[in-house]
Amino acid sequence: MTRKQLIFEKGYNALINNFTPEMDIKSIDFDTILPKSLQRNEEINLPDVPEFEIVRHYVNLAHKNYGVDSGIYPLGSCTMKYNPRINEVTARLSGFLKIHPLQEENDGAIELIYNLGQQLCEICGMDAFTLNPAAGAQGELTGILIIKKYFEIKGIKKDKIIVPDSAHGTNPATSAMAGFSIIEIKSDENGELPLDQLEFAMKGGDVAGLMLTNPNTVGVFDRNIDKITEIVHKYGGLCYYDGANLNPIMGIAKPGEMGFDIIHLNLHKTFSTPHGGGGPGAGPVGVKKDLINYLPCPQVIKNERGLACVENEGESIGRIRSFWGNFGVLVKAYTYILALGKNGIKNAAQNSVLNANYIRTQIKHKFTIPYDRINMHEFLVDANLPNGVNSEDVAKALLDRGIHAPTIYFPLIIHEAMLIEPTETENKRELDKFIEAMLEIYEEAEKNPEYLKKGPYNTEIGRLDATLAARKPCLRD
């Protein structure tokens, strides 16, 4: 066998573990509880594996995984900052972990949801937040459905959304989920949104809104931002802020003051909650006053009697998942914001920009930087190296040096895109190690390109055949 053993191959055919409480009541004849025709006939095809073997199996698997704790994780647009351990402790306090979503004695949870919403309003310049969305993409869906509802209730037909060509793939995908079609606008040579084209598109009269990431996915802050939102509003559209890149501007500027009407955040990016290998995240959505009624239900509001939970009062877009969202994630983000406070938040933002620009200026004499000015928390490299060495080759060469690769092949507007975001929690030694590795790889591309094209060599496994995986899918054992 050329693959590692699966957990299913480590089992025995008998009960070994003993986790379940003793059966302490008298049994009823099972056939009278459940007719035979509804019973499971065959054994579940899962082995009985002794506890210690399970632990060892997964601890070994974990050791084959690279996390933020292993080293720098400069994945652009993902904000892989340190995940403070206190957050893990607070989310596991039994008063949070063990409470039922439908129990009435939930004052602490409701207060936390309200307080976190208020903090996010202050940071973003919005008037209300829903914390229900389970991830950034679900936050986007929530935001776009709010736009749909807004026009539906006003009785105005608008069925298009503008996104720049540098947008995250989720923006167009989300718009389609709300029945909107897309107008894509090509970014200009500065990586910014051309105002004349925006105005031209808005003049059509059928545009419901604009989705924009700012700083955008090429890492620069769009200097025309207030003009952009003004144009959209002039033609009756709404401005949606994709908060994936909020990290460098928190405490510096507020999307709400830039003219944005709706914003989603990624608590698992900006607010330090762990990515968990792909979730759970949380994607809160903030809105301006006029849109509060459309927020999904349930919501926590403050009235004269204190905090109250409200359900759909008629204009809400409805429910987008069950209960209160990924509450455990909210506890972590709340802990983080309390830890940082007003100065820490700004300091985190500034240092994320410092770190990104430090790397940029130390590799720009070799690497092509398409938008070479002061960037925000991330910057884009066109990793078209000598002798046909490409972005993927550079990524794999970084892995060989024990470093996680940046985001590659995104955004789509640069062919060999490599988006580098170190975050503020990396120290200078780690940044220097990354810089050194990048320069070394460049030199290697000049001297020995064939070697780079077949890497990595020092990892658990070599470069894998993605085409084969898709052509002959083997998705289970």
Partner 1 sequence: MDYVPHDLETIRIMLEKIGVENLDDLYVDIPNNLKIKQLNLPEGLSESDLLKNLTELSEKNHIYNTSFLGAGSYYHYIPSLVDSIISQSQFFTAYTPYQAEISQGMLQSIYEYQSAISRLTEMDITNASMYDCASALAEAATMAFFVTKKKKILLIEGIHPEYIETVQTYCWGRSIETETIPLDELDNKLTDEIAGVLIQSPNFFGDIEDISQVAKKIRSKTKKCLLIQAMSDPTCLGKLNPPGKNDVDIFVAEGVGMHPSFGGPNLGILSVKKKYMRKMPGRLIGLTKELHGEKEGYVLTLQAREQHIRREKALSNICSNQALIMIASLVYLVSLGKTGLKNVAMQNFQKANHVKQALSQISGYKVLNTKPTYNEFIVKCPNINKLIKKCKDDNILPPLKLSHYFPDRKDEILICVTEMNSKEDINKFLQIAKEAAQ
In the complex, least distance from residue 306 CB atom to partner 1, rounded to whole angstroms: 12
In the complex, least distance from residue 197 CB atom to partner 1, rounded to whole angstroms: 19
> For residues 294 and 146, is the Cβ–Cβ distance under 8 A?
yes
Q: Which one, 234 or 342, has the nearer CB to partner 1? A: 342
Q: Which one, 72 or 198, has the nearer CB to partner 1? A: 72
Q: Which one, 7 or 413, has the nearer CB to partner 1? A: 7
> For residues 89 and 310, is the Cβ–Cβ distance under 8 A?
no
Token pair listed for 262: 């709706």
In the complex, least distance from residue 188 CB atom to partner 1, rounded to whole angstroms: 14
Angle between helices 107-124 and 327-363 (to 10 degrees): 30
Q: Within 13 A of 389's CA, how many CA atoms are on the CB side? A: 26
Q: Which one, 292 or 405, has the nearer CB to partner 1? A: 405
Q: Which one, 373 or 415, has the nearer CB to partner 1? A: 373
> For residues 34 and 372, is the Cβ–Cβ distance under 8 A?
no
Torsion (CA) 246, 247, 252, 253 in degrees, nearest 10: 0
Token pair listed for 49: 């594996």
In the complex, least distance from residue 443 CB atom to partner 1, rounded to whole angstroms: 21
In the complex, least distance from residue 237 CB atom to partner 1, rounded to whole angstroms: 18
Token pair listed for 140: 């986007």
> For residues 162 and 211, is the Cβ–Cβ distance under 8 A?
yes
The residue type of 68 is V
Three-class secondary structure of residue 256 per DSSP: helix
> For residues 91 and 422, is the Cβ–Cβ distance under 8 A?
no
Q: Which one, 77 or 202, has the nearer CB to partner 1? A: 77
In the complex, least distance from residue 158 CB atom to partner 1, rounded to whole angstroms: 15
In the complex, least distance from residue 383 CB atom to partner 1, rounded to whole angstroms: 15
Q: Which one, 179 or 204, has the nearer CB to partner 1? A: 179
**Angle in degrees, CA 247, 434, 82, rounded to 5:** 40
Query: What b/e readout covers 124-139, taking b as 16+ CB neighbours within 10 angstroms?
Result: bbbebbbbbbbbbbbb
- Rounded distance between C-alpha atoms, residue 374 and residue 393, angstroms: 27
Q: How far is CA 354 from each of CA 192, 199, 269, 421, 459, rounded to the nearest angstrom?
A: 21, 34, 18, 11, 31
Q: Which one, 34 or 308, has the nearer CB to partner 1? A: 34
In the complex, least distance from residue 12 CB atom to partner 1, rounded to whole angstroms: 9
